[in-house]
Amino acid sequence: MTAGKIRYPGPGCVVEFLQGNSPTLALVLAEQSGRLKLYTQNHREVALSANRLLPWSGPDLGPGISRREADQALEQLRLRRETLAEAEDFASLWEVVQGEENRVSAEWMASLLRQEADIDFEAALGRRLLGDKIHFRFNPPDFDVFPREVAEKRLLEAEAARLREAASSAGASFFRLLWEVASRRRPPPAPRETPEAALAERLRRILLTRIAEPDSDGEGLWKALVKGLPDHPHQALLLAAAWGLVPEHHNFWLDRAGFARGEDWADEGEAARFRERSQEISADLPEWADAFPAGPEAVGDLFSVDAEHTRDRDDAFSFAVLPDGSFRAVVALACPALAWPFGALLDKAVLHRATSLYLPEGDEHMLPGSIGWRLFGLDKGALRPALVLEMRFDGEGRLREINPLLRRVRIADNLFPDEVQGALLAGSFPDASAFVPGPRLLPHASALAAGLALARKLQAGRLASGAVIIQRPDPEIRLREEKGNLLVSLDSPEEPHLAHLLVGETMIAANAGLAAWALERDIPLFHRTQDVALPREFSGIWEAPQDVARIVRALPPAVLETQPRRHAGLGLAAYATVSSPIRRYVDLFNQGQILSFLREGAPRASAAALASLLPHLSARQDAAGQVQRFRPRYWKLLFFRQQGDKRWWDGVVTEENESFASVALPWAQIVVRGRRGLLGEKAYPGQAVQIRLGKVDPLLNEIQILETRE
């Protein structure tokens, strides 16, 4: 037995109990039926049940001790026990007993270290055992001994908790500093104000993760880190920008979509193998011209029509009007599916991107340049593999025949929409001398004229089938640096309508033709569908803002499906995109299906395989689509904020009800809302108004009408 230990404490006995998770010394003043009246080391009297005492009681100071003597005695015992607890080597005890004992008492443990241990030694040991929550657990009146695997796990958890507490405390202070920077109340933090490297890296990771995943709890620390800061939907983004982790106008939509910037995301080994395999196959292909005899049905050289800055040219064509008044078109489509490693890591990474993005601050391509436009782009003079479509149309533009072939093509020229527009206008209006085609376009003049005539027939046929064509050209958003500030301008150039009509209708016809061709051969493809019944009056070409708004509100979005269904907006029975395999994963996949059939007589993937891929592919398309929609709007709102709230802008009312009204700014292709009362009592869709805009926050996608006038 421990010297000085009391089994049944009575008046005058020193005891200990847990108060606030810490051992507290006390002197028993009275005891009755298991209830004790105690005088504590904190000079207070408390009532306590005897079963709450710690299992070491003593020494007995006698019942007649005065309060002054009790204070002195308790203080001396406290100091002695704390000194013993710190000085004695108790750490090795767990190594001695773990694996041998599951439960031990403080008294038994004390006897292992001292043959004649006194009550102060046992109490000091007990205090250490209470504090060592890694190796022991107090299970009154004894202590459970954790086995090694449990102790190691608890040690890791304790270290994580310690680091979390440190990060929470120091990180919260640093975040408060960053918020002052974000609020422009102080300059960016100096190096001495930045946390040490390990903590800084942890905070950096938490901020970047929360930008991409707004609901992330930041390793369980987020609420503690931002406690006391003003709430903001983009709090992490503002803090990261203040720290310099991201630029001021960081595109957080890319982060949320999980869309990696640049080209470093691609595995270079897989890309190199793909390049080598594609070049081997391409070298064995015949050239496209070898497939078509010369004579009255021949078409001219292939040319593309793309914006001057375009890199990923994935289509080219030529046209001819045949002697009987019918049309012949040859369309060449870039062919990255030629040796594409479907199912490999590279394929999965490209599927995750889903589509190329064309943004004011720069393009983000679906394929790395080395295996995209540099290898397959239909550039002038380059010999490229291509899916070549020979298409024949009757005099009314109805498709009568389509023959897909795998060939090599050499593109005669890369034309630009504005020069094609000029040539087409010159053909339509011979007296329009300003639009006489330059020498470069003369070899393609007859093909362009035939293509325009065919495009008009194709569009008329779609309109007769109920097509809904909305024309609302977006302005060009330009960004420029000026004195350290990023300035935005919106330019609304004249839309090269005829050039876009030629290209657009040709690509729609190619995609619809391949969808029908694949359906006849039971080749599963991904289809764009809009299988709804539209009022007949919806069919037409719509340009007026109020008409566009009315049609768009009633027109459901097209969806991706594995079954060929009607696309009401296009006026087509089936529509599967194949024409942009460098830019869109759906087109790349569909092209792979068609090439597999041409080479092996069977599609590469079954309908069931397409169905299993559909949910993920649709989700990735939606994520990328959000970037493409919201990012240009961000720059437009920044433009209006930079213009201030004193300017008046021309607009058209597109919608109004009792509560609010919507006004379109057609030149900017943006719609803003305001209180209905701002427009007066006689507001109606189509009404021309002028508006003043203010309270613009591009980050929150907020803009308000402040004032209107007719």
Residues 117, 154 within the same domain:
no
Residues 623, 524 within the same domain:
yes
125-134: long-range contacts at Cβ-Cβ below 8 A with a sequence spacing of 24 or more? 125/85, 125/88, 125/90, 126/16, 126/23, 126/54, 126/55, 126/56, 127/23, 127/81, 127/82, 127/85, 128/85, 128/88, 128/90, 129/90, 130/18, 130/23, 132/94, 133/158, 134/158
Residues 509, 447 within the same domain:
yes
Distance CA 78, CA 179 (A): 46
Across residues 140-168, what is the average pLDDT? 86
Indicate if the pLDDT at residue 424 is higher than 90: no
Are the beta carbons of 14 and 57 closer than 8 angstroms?
Answer: yes
Q: Which residues contact 621 (CB under 8 A, 6 or more apart)?
A: 354, 355, 560, 586
Boundary of a domain, candidates 146, 179, 199: 146
Residues 132, 155 within the same domain:
no
Assigned domain for 9 exists: no
Pairing of strands 45-49, 35-40: antiparallel
Nearest of 47, 32, 39, 34 to residue 14 by alpha carbon: 39
pLDDT of residue 182: 93
First-residue to last-residue Cα distance in the chain: 100
Residue 431 pLDDT level (bands cut at 50, 70, 90): very low
pLDDT of residue 589: 98
The answer, yes or no, to whether the previous bond of 59 is cis (omega within 30 of 0) is: yes
CB atoms within 10 A of CB 438: 9
Please, what is the average pLDDT of the chain?
A: 91
Indicate if the pLDDT at residue 427 is higher than 90: no
pLDDT of residue 494: 66
Boundary of a domain, candidates 193, 213, 246: 246
pLDDT tens, position by position, 320-362? 999 999 999 999 999 999 999 999 999 999 999 999 999 999 9
Type of residue found at 236: A
Nearest of 273, 269, 272, 250 to residue 261 by alpha carbon: 250
Range(s) of the domain holding residue 696: 644-709
Indicate if the pLDDT at residue 428 is higher than 80: no
Q: Which two tokens stand for residue 273?
A: 């193998």
Nearest of 255, 232, 236, 233 to residue 178 by alpha carbon: 236
Residue 4 pLDDT level (bands cut at 50, 70, 90): confident
Indicate if the pLDDT at residue 603 is higher than 50: yes
Are the beta carbons of 393 and 450 closer than 8 angstroms?
Answer: no
Distance CA 38, CA 47 (A): 6
Residues 653, 698 within the same domain:
yes
Winning range, highest mean pLDDT, from 422-431, 507-516, 552-561:
507-516
Q: Exposure pattern of 330-367 as b/e (b: 16+ CB <10 Å)? A: bbbbbbbbbbbebeeebbebbbbbbbbbbbbeeebbbb
pLDDT tens, position by position, 394-406? 999 999 999 999 9
Residues 308, 402 within the same domain:
yes
87 against 137, higher pLDDT: 137
Indicate if the pLDDT at residue 437 is higher than 60: no
Across residues 175-192, what is the average pLDDT? 91
Q: With H, G, I as helix, E, B as strand and everything else as coil, classify residue 194.
A: coil
Q: Is the pTM of this model over 0.85?
A: no
Residues 237, 364 within the same domain:
no
Assigned domain for 255 exists: no
Distance CA 430, CA 437 (A): 11
1 against 176, higher pLDDT: 176
pLDDT tens, position by position, 186-225? 899 988 889 988 889 999 999 999 999 999 887 788 988 9
pLDDT of residue 483: 85
Assigned domain for 407 exists: yes
> Residue 648 is part of a domain; what is its CATH number?
2.40.50.140
How many domains, the chain? 4
Per cent of the chain over pLDDT 70 is 96
Residues 618, 687 within the same domain:
no
Residues 120, 189 within the same domain:
no
pLDDT of residue 25: 97
Nearest of 304, 451, 315 to residue 387 by alpha carbon: 315
Q: Is 248 exposed, middle or buried (0-12, 13-18, 19+ CB in 10 A)?
A: exposed
Boundary of a domain, candidates 215, 246, 277: 246
Residues 85, 140 within the same domain:
yes
Assigned domain for 254 exists: no
Residues 136, 156 within the same domain:
no
Across residues 454-482, what is the average pLDDT? 93
pLDDT of residue 295: 58
Q: Which two tokens stand for residue 249?
A: 């106008």
pLDDT of residue 691: 93
Assigned domain for 465 exists: yes
Residue 433 pLDDT level (bands cut at 50, 70, 90): very low
Q: Which two tokens stand for residue 624?
A: 């990328």
Indicate if the pLDDT at residue 457 is higher than 70: yes
Element (H, E) at 239: helix 235-243
Residue 287 pLDDT level (bands cut at 50, 70, 90): confident
Indicate if the pLDDT at residue 436 is higher than 60: no
Are the beta carbons of 98 and 32 closer than 8 angstroms?
Answer: no
CA atoms within 13 A on the CB side of 693: 27
pLDDT tens, position by position, 14-56? 999 999 889 999 999 999 988 999 999 999 999 999 999 999 9
Residues 157, 134 within the same domain:
no
Residue 292 pLDDT level (bands cut at 50, 70, 90): low
Q: With H, G, I as helix, E, B as strand and everything else as coil, classify residue 394.
A: coil
Are the beta carbons of 206 and 217 closer than 8 angstroms?
Answer: no
Assigned domain for 4 exists: no
Across residues 615-632, what is the average pLDDT? 96
pLDDT tens, position by position, 250-286? 999 999 999 999 988 998 999 999 999 999 999 989 8
298 against 322, higher pLDDT: 322
Assigned domain for 651 exists: yes
Residue 493 pLDDT level (bands cut at 50, 70, 90): low
Assigned domain for 263 exists: no
Distance CA 490, CA 667 (A): 9
